[in-house]
Structure 1
Amino acid sequence: MDVQRLRVLRELADRGSVAAVADALSFTPSAISQQLKALAEEVGMPLTEPAGRGLRLTDVGRALAAEAEGVLTALARADAAVERLRTTPRGQVRMAIFPSGARMLLPGVLARLDDVAEVDLQCRDVDMNPAEVTALAADFDVVVTHRDEHAPPHAVERRVVVPLLREPLDVVLPPGHLLARRRKVRLDELAGEAWISVEVGWPVDDVLRSLALHTDTRPRIVQRINDFSVTEELVAAGRGVALLPRYSTDDRGGRRLVRRPLAGVRAARLVEAVLRTSAAERPAVRTVLDALCAEAASLTGA
């Protein structure tokens, strides 16, 4: 089978449409359709079927796409074997990372890579939700993402998931709040507060809703802000309380904000790196993963 056609099938499995594959691979949609048709003729069985105005993979197409990743991984492994003959890892590594994760991890990761001159880490901050990770892993070598620790894990088919850290979520209060003197705060004590959360379906909002179900309370959400630095400013100004991640919140030693753990419940987000198995074979990518893991360990004391 033609490797390029297998790559086209893999991209269709990840991106979901011929147009998206064409855009990613810099081909016309017609050329992509021809590649898929030729591959189906090689296999002797239909790989796609109509779905509305687009296409979707048949069972045979999905099975072959899974095997295609294995073939492409083997090719990447062969490239890596040659790469390892060089004295240092080299090449560009593209990384997508969610904004508060970038605030927490990126400066330290870049500092750790300063001595690896041949690795060029190119980063983009992406305000992602878990459903978008698969598509992002098709565009980037490494995707640093986060999810509620009670949420389902990321799909691992044709993916490598590297755990980085568990980041507890604390209640964040204005310094003059009545509960600021407490060592821990129960969620039911905050039932009457104005809450600042994030968009529905994003990890921190999932945690707040799951905590609400656990404690039989209904939080009164007055603002939905995805940028945690804005949320910090609103809490500091007395506009509400919030759940914010422990290691990436700038409380300025308690002078600007007061962080308190939740009593009686576990609330945290899991920070993970997700990448294709083929990308994981590149020495430069592994160097970036090592820097991510080391920086995460330095934050948690692991």
Structure 2
Amino acid sequence: MDVRRLRILRELADRGSVTAVAAALNFTPSAVSQQLKTLSREAGLEPTAPDGRGLRLTAAGLAVVDGAQEVLDALGRLEETAAGLREQPLGTVRVVFFPSAARLLLPGLLHRASAHPGLAPSCRDLDLRPEEVPAAAADADVVVTHHDERLDPFSTGRLTVHPLLREPLDVALPPDHPLAHRAEVHLPELVAADWISVAVGWPVDDVLSSLSLVTGTVPRVVQRINDFSVTEELVAHGHGARLALRPLAGVRAARLVRAVTRGAVTRPAVRLALDELAAEAAAVRAAG
């Protein structure tokens, strides 16, 4: 099977549409479709099937993609060796952070990276739903993301997960709330509270949904705000409860902060950036 066509199939798995693959690879959609048809003949199976006006991967196609990832990782390592980059990690490393992780980790990462001449992190903030992470990992070298600790949305073999932090999530109450003086709060005590969460399907809202399943309590969400600084202002002025500041008793409430890469890490510069990111996360943990 032609490696270029395997790359195209992997892109389809991660990006979800022929149009998105064509845009990423500077192909026309018809050229992408033709390459996938040729791959089908080479492999002697049907890796894709019609899905409305587009294509979806079949079970056989998903299996081929998982196997192709190993091939592409090996080729990446070979390319790095041939380029002589193993001894000196040079180049740009594209890193995506969700906004609050950028506030927490990015300044320290940039400081650490400055000690390595030639290492150039290129960073942006982008809040992602878990299902959007594979496409982001196709465009970036490292994606720092988060999710409820009871979930594992990145179990696909095409993604490699690098743990960074476990962040306990508490409840923030207005200063004059009757429970604000308590050392900890039980979720049933907040059944009548007005909650502020984020948009449905976004990380942190999944934690609230998970708590609902565990406790049988359904929080009444009255505002959905993705910017935590706005939420903090609303809570401070008495407009709701949100996960922060007061421990929730009787349940585990936490999100996992993880770095995700597509496949194995083959570039020394990316490996070094991940090592420094992990070191910064460890410093944050040590600082409490």
TM-score by length of 1: 0.88
Give the deviation of 1:87 after TM superposition: 4.5
User: Could you tell me whether the CA contact under 8 Å between 1:5 and 1:36 is conserved in 2?
Assistant: yes
Give the aligned length.
287
User: Could you tell me whether the CA contact under 8 Å between 2:130 and 2:153 is conserved in 1?
Assistant: no
Superposition map of 1:25-40 within 5 A: 25-40=25-40
The aligned counterpart of 1:89 is 89
Quick one: distance in 2 between partners of 1:17 and 1:213?
34
Quick one: distance in 2 between partners of 1:157 and 1:122?
26
Residues 234-284 of structure 1 show CA distances to partners (whole Å, capped at 9, x for unaligned) of 11112112113xxxxxxxxxxxxxx22112221000111111124x11111
- 1:166 is matched by which residue type in structure 2? R
Structure 1: stretches of 5+ with no match in the other structure: 245-258
Give the deviation of 1:43 after TM superposition: 2.7
Change (3 A) 1:182 1:15: same
Aligned to 2:6, the other structure's residue is in SS state: helix
Residues 60-106 of structure 1 show CA distances to partners (whole Å, capped at 9, x for unaligned) of 43332222211111111112334565643111111121111111111
Quick one: distance in 2 between partners of 1:65 and 1:211?
35
The aligned counterpart of 2:80 is 80
Quick one: distance in 2 between partners of 1:60 and 1:86?
35
Q: Does 2:282 match 1:282?
A: no
The aligned counterpart of 2:248 is 262
- 1:100 is matched by which residue type in structure 2? S
User: Could you tell me whether the CA contact under 8 Å between 2:158 and 2:262 is conserved in 1?
Assistant: yes
Q: Does 2:151 match 1:165?
A: no
CA RMSD of aligned residues (A): 2.0
User: Could you tell me whether the CA contact under 8 Å between 1:40 and 1:47 is conserved in 2?
Assistant: yes
Give the deviation of 1:15 after TM superposition: 1.6
User: Could you tell me whether the CA contact under 8 Å between 2:131 and 2:153 is conserved in 1?
Assistant: no
TM-score by length of 2: 0.92
Give the deviation of 1:164 after TM superposition: 0.8
User: Could you tell me whether the CA contact under 8 Å between 1:148 and 1:203 is conserved in 2?
Assistant: yes
Quick one: distance in 2 between partners of 1:14 and 1:93?
20
More displaced stretch, 138-147 vs 214-223: 214-223
The aligned counterpart of 2:14 is 14
Aligned to 1:238, the other structure's residue is in SS state: coil
Quick one: distance in 2 between partners of 1:169 and 1:238?
19
Change (3 A) 1:83 1:296: farther
User: Could you tell me whether the CA contact under 8 Å between 1:144 and 1:271 is conserved in 2?
Assistant: yes
The aligned counterpart of 1:57 is 57
Change (3 A) 1:188 1:44: closer
Change (3 A) 1:215 1:60: closer
Change (3 A) 1:48 1:85: closer
- 2:273 is matched by which residue type in structure 1? V
Change (3 A) 1:66 1:132: same
- 1:22 is matched by which residue type in structure 2? A
Quick one: distance in 2 between partners of 1:212 and 1:38?
49
Quick one: distance in 2 between partners of 1:10 and 1:210?
32
Q: Does 2:284 match 1:299?
A: yes
Quick one: distance in 1 between partners of 2:121 and 2:184?
40
User: Could you tell me whether the CA contact under 8 Å between 2:165 and 2:257 is conserved in 1?
Assistant: yes
Structure 2: stretches of 5+ with no match in the other structure: none
- 1:293 is matched by which residue type in structure 2? A
Aligned to 1:163, the other structure's residue is in SS state: strand
Quick one: distance in 2 between partners of 1:193 and 1:94?
41
